[in-house]
Amino acid sequence: MKQQYKSYDQTVEFLKQCVENYPSLISIESIGKTWEDRDIMLAKVTLNVENADLKPAMLFTGTIHAREWIGNELAVSFIDYLLKNYNTNPKILQTITKNTLYIVPCLNPDGFEYSRTHFSFWRKNRRDNGDGTFGVDLNRNFSVGYSKSSNTSSNVYSGPKPFSEPETTAMKNFVDKHDNITIALDYHSQGNVFFPAHKFNHEAEINGTDLNTLCANMNYEISKVTGRRYGIHRGKPPTKLISGSGREYYYSKDIIAAVVEVGTRNIPDFMQNMKESINENIPALLYALGEAQNYSKIAPKRVERFRIESYTSQEVTLKWEYECKKDIYFEIYRNRQNKEACNSSNLIAQTNETSFTDIELTSGTAYYYYIRAVDNITGVKSAFAPKTKIKTRLEADEFSKTLFPTPSNVGYVAQKLIETNRKHFGNNSLFIGINETKGASYGMMQFDLNKIPSNAIIKDVRISLYPLNRVNAKIEKYGEWSISFIDDKTIADITDYDQVIKSKIIQTIGQTIPSEQLTQGIWSHWDFNECEKTILQKLLKREKVIFRISGPTKLPDGRDSQMMMFDLGYGKFGGGLHYRPSIDIKYTIPSQEIVLQASSICTVSKDNIDYETLSCGFDKNNDKIYGLMCFDLSTLPDPDKTVITDCYIEIKNKNTTKSRQDIRYNVEFVDIENIDYDNIQNRDRIEFIGYEVSRADLQKNKSHKFLFDNFSRLELEQMHKKDKNATFLIKPTSAIIKDHIINWYANDEKHNVKLVVKYIHKRKFPLQSVEDVKISVENSKVKLTWKNPDDEDFRGTYVVRNRFHKPKNHLDGDKIYAGSDNYSYDDFGNPKITKYYGLFTYDDIPNYSEPTIIKHQGEE
């Protein structure tokens, strides 16, 4: 299979051939010489290549690591694709008209040839270290974060000093001289993952959204070809970050930079795997090249202070600022998940205003919003403003809970580790799949459901798992992963392998995930369908639910591992508690019913009020007669903890009329202080209740229900809260007919006028916000202290950090803490950076309070 890959010489020959065939599109140059005197070749590809350096550019580097042959192969294929198709594919033509590609197919020619001809898995260059060892890891030899090492035989030996190597020096010199470079992609293998650059601290960065979104949009193109979804992974605490890499050097020069790890092996079967990797990456590269101009000097400025202005259970209003809006409009994107594409597939608005209201959203649901400015004349777009995230409020009758398994209830069991399986629980990441040392392995998770009422009506459920770094745990293209409900009656001990494989599966949740769609660094979610919700609802009575996560259980010949790792949140490999598996459940509860009898009724006509009857119609002079019904709401439970879910008035008519005229009667919710005819005629109408009944209805049915709409229900809650009586009026609609009266049953025992109220107990209002927030720096960490409200419903305070604006929602930034303590440290934050912290109290529903905001003044 190695014969199918291009050698260094063949690559150089190919480039020369391209220049001969397409002289106006490509030029090549040597940007340096290696220790073994090979030229480090760089090609420039663009329309009218003599102008290459005048256009915004993307830099491609490949095979900096000798054994990672994808870089060189992909470079050759991409150049070939651009040159052969530019005059038939308008997208290519447009892209290379406005952007330049700088491409170094092989940055480590000596190592590459050594890997090709002598030692397949050689990684470094071929420097003679003078002590019998050879090679420097070029991707540790750049200056940013450079870490000196003396172990020359190490595979990651960083060299005697930064830029000690001709290859890294060549790159530095070229990049330093070309400030038109706006994007840099460094191609490696393996893992099928993007590693965007970072600044060695775990804080949001102004171009963090750009980095993730560039990768997500490339991912979108990749998945169109193969269905594969690469991971997008910036490294998270406490993961050790890579020192001295090219990516961070480019990023330090304000270039949007990422490493792309392609494939599942360094030197894979060319026909089976390498071709697939190349095919899926070419459209992604074309997309990225087209983005170069959007980060260049000709791009409009980034939108400022993109933030949430207000939100409800269904709507979110966004606001932002922009200095000069001439010839500018804004594109707004919305996603349900992090690190998803922002392109025409999720563009929800184009506007030249500086605010936008998104409507018809789902309650209690997280949304991600993105924005970029677009130059209406050139079509060039701005960088993204930092994304903003929000969870909509719950509907009036809804509750939600996020449940986590306790440490002893989450772990994996492996076929060949019978003795130690129990110790994995609460300690070791979830290894799911199969490898030679562990055998088949399954993940087990048990969630206690006792915090959810056993009669709850489940509305939405989502399971979330965080797949860990897959560079070590390679996943090839076979097998699938799934989560299933296990019948808890068929298993007594979830740490026992035999019991686990014999346990009965009730149902597998949603679709299984094929290997190529498993991603690392992006949360995996499973949303329950109706049938799965019903299963969970039944399990509420058993107060627990057990899930089994399964992967492939057989290895093909010559393969040693097909194993995915999901974070447990615990143990040394875990990313911390934020990364625990979780289950989010949104639910309501059955309502109770209370029937109120009218506390008073009366019939009001022009010159009489009769407190014994309830009638309406027209008198002899064509004047309207009104029926009034009054209800005392004081018997309803505590207004602050009562949500009316349904409500209706039921009344019954005693008589009907013979008139052929179309007479109808309706019920109004009114606000009347003193009952007299004039007041009634000039009444404040709150709302009509239900629909009018006709003469025919009165004949057909004796009993009539007038249903409250949402607004009237809320008004009734208001009346209750203000300790007022609720008054309703029944009257004919405007058709006039003389001397015509309908009598309604009033105080007859069997036929009372009734107000039927269905309600649930639920705290409706958030708690007080926290007070007395103080900020200090202790041991290089920001420390926050505060005073929690003194309230029996208090459950905790949620602390979120936002570097760019004051957080309006508890999800709007990086979560620092959630719990009942009155202090927290910002463990991974950088105290030198200025930022806002928002503190939100919450109850059991949960209702979140308005934030208390405090600004931390850093050193910038």
Name the residues that contact Zn ion, by CB under 5 A.
65, 68, 188
Q: How far apart are CA 108 and CA 135, in angstroms?
A: 11
Q: How far apart are CA 581 and CA 567, in angstroms?
A: 7
Nearer to Zn ion, 68 or 397 (CB): 68
SS3 assignment for 261-280? ECCCCCCCCHHHHHHHHHHH
Site of tokens 């329950």: 528
Nearer to Zn ion, 195 or 356 (CB): 195
- Closest approach, Cβ 122 to Zn ion, in A, equals 12
- Closest approach, Cβ 190 to Zn ion, in A, equals 8
Q: How far apart are CA 844 and CA 795, in angstroms?
A: 6
- β-pairing, 100-104 vs 57-62, is parallel
Q: How far apart are CA 778 and CA 784, in angstroms?
A: 10
Nearer to Zn ion, 65 or 389 (CB): 65
- Closest approach, Cβ 187 to Zn ion, in A, equals 9
Mark 687-720 as b/e (b = at least 16 C-beta within 10 Å). bebbebbebeebeeeeebebebeeebbebbbebb
Report the residue number whose CB is nearest to Zn ion. 188
Closest CA relative to residue 627, chosen from 757, 755, 723, 753:
753
In sequence order, what are the residues at sequence separation of 6 or more whose Cβ sits closer than 8 angstroms to the Cβ of residue 538?
A: none
Nearer to Zn ion, 68 or 331 (CB): 68
Q: How far apart are CA 243 and CA 233, in angstroms?
A: 16
Q: For 600-736, where are the E strands, in sequence order? A: 600-605, 608-610, 614-618, 624-631, 642-652, 664-671, 684-694, 703-707, 726-732
Q: Give burial (CB, 10 Å; 0-12/13-18/19+) of 731.
A: buried
Rounded to the nearest 10°, the torsion over CA 623, 627, 632, 637 is: -120
Q: How far apart are CA 390 and CA 800, in angstroms?
A: 12
Closest CA relative to residue 759, chosen from 591, 634, 519:
591
Closest CA relative to residue 327, chosen from 391, 375, 379, 382:
375
- Closest approach, Cβ 198 to Zn ion, in A, equals 17
Tokens of residue 263, six digits: 């494939």
Nearer to Zn ion, 144 or 845 (CB): 144
- Closest approach, Cβ 43 to Zn ion, in A, equals 21
- Closest approach, Cβ 65 to Zn ion, in A, equals 4
Nearer to Zn ion, 247 or 339 (CB): 247
In sequence order, what are the residues at sequence separation of 6 or more whose Cβ sits closer than 8 angstroms to the Cβ of residue 89?
A: none
Nearer to Zn ion, 65 or 140 (CB): 65
Nearer to Zn ion, 193 or 716 (CB): 193
Nearer to Zn ion, 100 or 108 (CB): 108
Do 740 and 647 form a contact (C-beta atoms < 8 A)? no
- Closest approach, Cβ 242 to Zn ion, in A, equals 10
Three-class DSSP category at 353: coil
- Report which secondary-structure segment, H or E, holds 247: helix 246-252
Return the ∠ at Cα 692 (arms to 689 and 695), rounded to 5°.
150
- Closest approach, Cβ 574 to Zn ion, in A, equals 25
- Closest approach, Cβ 137 to Zn ion, in A, equals 9
Three-class DSSP category at 793: coil
Tokens of residue 805, six digits: 């604006």
Nearer to Zn ion, 278 or 689 (CB): 278
Nearer to Zn ion, 230 or 311 (CB): 230
- Closest approach, Cβ 810 to Zn ion, in A, equals 39
Nearer to Zn ion, 47 or 144 (CB): 144
- Closest approach, Cβ 196 to Zn ion, in A, equals 15
User: What sections of 503-601 are H helices per DSSP?
Assistant: 530-539
Nearer to Zn ion, 95 or 115 (CB): 115
- Closest approach, Cβ 261 to Zn ion, in A, equals 7
- Closest approach, Cβ 34 to Zn ion, in A, equals 18
- β-pairing, 256-261 vs 181-188, is parallel
- Closest approach, Cβ 116 to Zn ion, in A, equals 16
Preceding omega of 90 cis (within 30 degrees of 0): no
Tokens of residue 829, six digits: 């934050």
Q: How far apart are CA 584 and CA 528, in angstroms?
A: 10
- Closest approach, Cβ 143 to Zn ion, in A, equals 19
Q: How far apart are CA 565 and CA 429, in angstroms?
A: 6
Q: How far apart are CA 688 and CA 670, in angstroms?
A: 9
Nearer to Zn ion, 520 or 712 (CB): 520
Q: How far apart are CA 449 and CA 455, in angstroms?
A: 12
- Closest approach, Cβ 35 to Zn ion, in A, equals 19
